[in-house]
Structure 1
Amino acid sequence: MNDNITFEDFTKVDLRVGTIIEVNDFPDARNPAYQLTIDFGDLGIKKSSAQITSLYKKENLVNRQIVAVLNFPKKQIANFMSECLVLGAVNSKDVILLNPENMVKNGSVVS
């Protein structure tokens, strides 16, 4: 377990729900990954790289809601600029996406 944080620290993390609207292969990534385009409603469209190819097919990801961190700095991954961090639970080496149980408005706050 990592060091404890305060509730104030936690409130600084901008967790939001978005819907994946496009998925592309990412052959230049060091580890197998997809390039995701995600709609966060009023917050706009953001791109992210996600190492989820072992459990998810591209066609099954489109229109799927996910949870992401929006206030990390952008990160260059190979020739791609990732603008948010999609969250998942790591099971062995596979990543299982976190998502709301029911559909919610894109951009909804996760708290």
Structure 2
Amino acid sequence: MGKAITFETFTKVDLRVGTIIEVNDFPKARHPAYQLTIDFGDLGIKKSSAQITTLYTKDDLLNRQIIAVVNFPKKQIANFMSECLVLGAVKAKDVVLLSPEHQVKNGTVVS
């Protein structure tokens, strides 16, 4: 188990549901990855880089809802600015995306 945090610390992490609206290959990434464009409703459109090419094709990802941290600072990855962190569970070396069981409105808060 990881180091314990307070509930107050947890509430600072802004977890939201978004829908992937565009998926592109990311050949300049150090490890195989996609460039994702994600619609977070009222929060707007954000981009992210995700190393999920082993388990997901671009068609698998398009229009899929995901959960992401949306209040991290932007991070430059090669020639791309990642604006959020898409969440997943690590299975061996692969990432399995976390997503809502039922369709919800983009931008919905995860708590």
TM, length-normalised to structure 1: 0.99
Write out aligned runs for 1:3-42 (5 A).
3-42=3-42
Which residue of the partner structure matches residue 92 of structure 1?
A: 92
Which residue of the partner structure matches residue 79 of structure 1?
A: 79
Deviation of 1:3 after TM superposition, in Å, equals: 1.3
Query: Stretches of 4+ moved more than 2 A in 1?
Result: none
Which residue of the partner structure matches residue 48 of structure 2?
A: 48
C-alpha separation in 2, matches of 1:105 and 1:2: 31
Confirm whether residue 109 of structure 1 aligns to residue 109 of structure 2: yes
C-alpha separation in 2, matches of 1:4 and 1:36: 31
C-alpha separation in 2, matches of 1:30 and 1:21: 24
Q: How many residues align?
A: 111
Q: Specify every segment of 5 or more residues in structure 2 that has no aligned partner in the other structure, as ranges.
A: none
Amino acid at match of 1:78: A
Identity %: 82
Q: Calculate the aligned-residue CA RMSD, in Å.
A: 0.4
TM, length-normalised to structure 2: 0.99
